[in-house]
Structure 1
Amino acid sequence: MSSQRVHASEQTAWIAAPAGVVYGLLADAVRWPLLLPTPVHVERIDFDGVRERLRLWDVAGERVRSFHVRRVLHPRSRTVEFEQEDTARPGAPTTGTWTVEAHGEAQCRVTLRQERTVEGLPAAGTARSRQEWDEEPAAQLAHLTAIAERWERLDELLLSFEDSVHVDGPAELVYDFLHRIGDWPERVPHVESASVTEDVPGVQVAAVDTCATPDGRTLSTKAVRLCFPSAARIVYKELVTPEPIAAHTGEWSLLPDGDGVRVVCAQQVVLREEAALRLPGAGAAGLVEARRYVRTWLGRASTETLRLARWRAQTTVRRLR
């Protein structure tokens, strides 16, 4: 027999970080893709300073999910109420509350309480669903703890930068080049191989081998790419990153620029501290040299891709004239 059941869950973690720091990480959902493992991209649709509506893409196993979240932020009590509207299960939202309680100046307790209605599952299926559902918040709390407890060094570990080129040509040609990442091994010298699946239109999973590091090593990465052709944007997050990098997100965007278009590649990185300190020249200089190394390496790769996109677009326009 199928049934309708309510799953309730409460999980708690003690975090060696100030309560204000932890609440700030929870409140700033737009930065979650860089700080937490499963979110790929978060877009804020509405926000009045207290209430907000978000669209969030994340990965669950091999599947990319998309859903809307309504949240109410309470900075004084350090609580965040939420309602998650899963498009795969209409009418059965997940609701809950994050609560951050200060225990001294450098420690806090975080509690995640949530409820979800499950319809149409037999009892055995409900038990499996509950186990999987309970594992997800436990993983969220573990990753939140790991990033929050590095709060004093977080600014040194975070790296944000962008590269851009002007193109005298239509945005459609540039976007087509960036979208067709499966063709990059024949078009972009530092890309050795690329395997792309797109089970859902606009959602690409790309496994890519590149050779763009200063020492010529081949690196394997895997990324989710969300393609928005009407907005001329491609947002991505690497799920598998090379050793110096703990997390890597970015966006290709095309902006009107005079008679042409400006193509921007914006990237955000969290360094894996232990590996970053082993990079060439990083020893005495610490993370300063490691940041410079990663910025140069990733910037060289993005700049080469941008210039080739420009060349292809402008060459195509000249041929058509």
Structure 2
Amino acid sequence: MAELRIRTVRHTIRVAAPPKRVYQLIANVDRWPRIFDPVLSVEHLGFDGSGERVRFWARNGDRLRSWVSSREVSPKRLQVRFRQERAQGPLASLGGLWLVLPKGEDSLVALDHYYRVVDDDPVEAARLEKTITTTSTAMLAAVRRAAELDEVWHSLPDTVHVDDNVEGVSSK
């Protein structure tokens, strides 16, 4: 039996937020249901110091999907490696890397995927590449929104002084 071809794809986005903050958003899967629309829930299955196993529950159109990923977090390198433990057809395997690179005070976020397609089917490979591109682009945009929104919230003052009577102030 011939070895299946490993396909790779990289997507990137520039984020106006410090690299450490961006990395923390990506590394902390507990925040994923608030950041990524399709992700409904995460369940921690184990942690060994640098690696963890996480079950994800997500919407895929009108279907509910679940998968287990092994993740290796590296705060010093600002990266998270991941691999689905059991890829679902037509994927034979799927893994990748989140990488946050400093760009001045901003960040460049790269999301790499490597995958193999059952029987190296070219039609399925093209469909999967399109799906991975759509999903990656949406995830990167969501990371940017969350990181830049965090930046706004972190820069807001804790209190606001009003130089008028309080009757004209509404909390709505």
Instruction: Look up the equivalent residue of 1:27 and give its one-letter code.
Output: A
- Mapped partners of 2:93, 2:121: distance in 1: 19
Identify the residue that residue 51 of structure 1 maps to in structure 2.
Answer: 51
Aligned: 1:72 with 2:72: yes
The structure with the larger Rg is: 1
Aligned: 1:128 with 2:137: no
CA shift at 1:36, angstroms?
1.3
CA RMSD of superposed structures (Å): 2.5
Does structure 2 retain, via aligned residues, the 8 Å contact 1:5–1:119? no
Identify the range of structure 1 (3-12 vs 137-146) with the bigger mean alpha-carbon deviation: 3-12
Identify the residue that residue 38 of structure 1 maps to in structure 2.
Answer: 38
Deviations 1:158-188 (A, max 9, x none): xxxxxxxxxxxxxxxxxxxxxxxxxxxxxxx
CA shift at 1:284, angstroms?
4.9
Does structure 2 retain, via aligned residues, the 8 Å contact 1:72–1:82? yes
Instruction: Look up the equivalent residue of 1:84 and give its one-letter code.
Output: Q
Deviations 1:14-52 (A, max 9, x none): 000111110000010022001211111001111233211
Greater RCO, 1 or 2 (C-alpha within 8 Å, sep 6+) = 2
Q: What SS class does the counterpart of residue 77 from structure 1 fall into?
A: coil
- Mapped partners of 1:98, 1:125: distance in 2: 24
Does structure 1 retain, via aligned residues, the 8 Å contact 2:91–2:117? no
- Mapped partners of 1:154, 1:110: distance in 2: 21
Instruction: Look up the equivalent residue of 1:147 and give its one-letter code.
Output: A
Does structure 1 retain, via aligned residues, the 8 Å contact 2:87–2:93? no
CA shift at 1:6, angstroms?
2.8
Identify the residue that residue 115 of structure 2 maps to in structure 1.
Answer: 116
CA shift at 1:4, angstroms?
4.1
Does structure 2 retain, via aligned residues, the 8 Å contact 1:85–1:92? no
CA shift at 1:152, angstroms?
2.9
Structure richer in strand, relative to its length: 1
> What is the TM-score when the length of structure 2 is the normalising length?
0.81
Instruction: Look up the equivalent residue of 2:33 and give its one-letter code.
Output: P
Identify the residue that residue 11 of structure 1 maps to in structure 2.
Answer: 11
Instruction: Look up the equivalent residue of 2:140 and give its one-letter code.
Output: L
Unaligned runs of 5+ in 2: 156-167
> What is the TM-score when the length of structure 1 is the normalising length?
0.45
- Mapped partners of 1:136, 1:56: distance in 2: 15
- Mapped partners of 1:72, 1:20: distance in 2: 17
Identify the residue that residue 187 of structure 1 maps to in structure 2.
Answer: none
Q: 1:14 to 1:135 in 2, by over 3 A?
A: same
Q: 1:91 to 1:136 in 2, by over 3 A?
A: closer
Deviations 1:113-145 (A, max 9, x none): 110111136423322222122211111101111
- Mapped partners of 1:113, 1:5: distance in 2: 16
Instruction: Look up the equivalent residue of 1:81 and give its one-letter code.
Output: R
Q: 1:18 to 1:284 in 2, by over 3 A?
A: farther
Equivalent positions of 1:1-321 (< 5 A) are 4-86=4-86, 88-89=88-89, 92-105=92-105, 107-120=106-119, 122-154=121-153, 284=169, 289-290=171-172
- Mapped partners of 2:117, 2:91: distance in 1: 10
Q: What SS class does the counterpart of residue 150 from structure 1 fall into?
A: helix
Q: What SS class does the counterpart of residue 22 from structure 1 fall into?
A: helix
Identity %: 32
- Mapped partners of 1:83, 1:76: distance in 2: 20
Does structure 2 retain, via aligned residues, the 8 Å contact 1:69–1:85? yes
Unaligned runs of 5+ in 1: 157-282, 291-321
Does structure 2 retain, via aligned residues, the 8 Å contact 1:15–1:108? yes
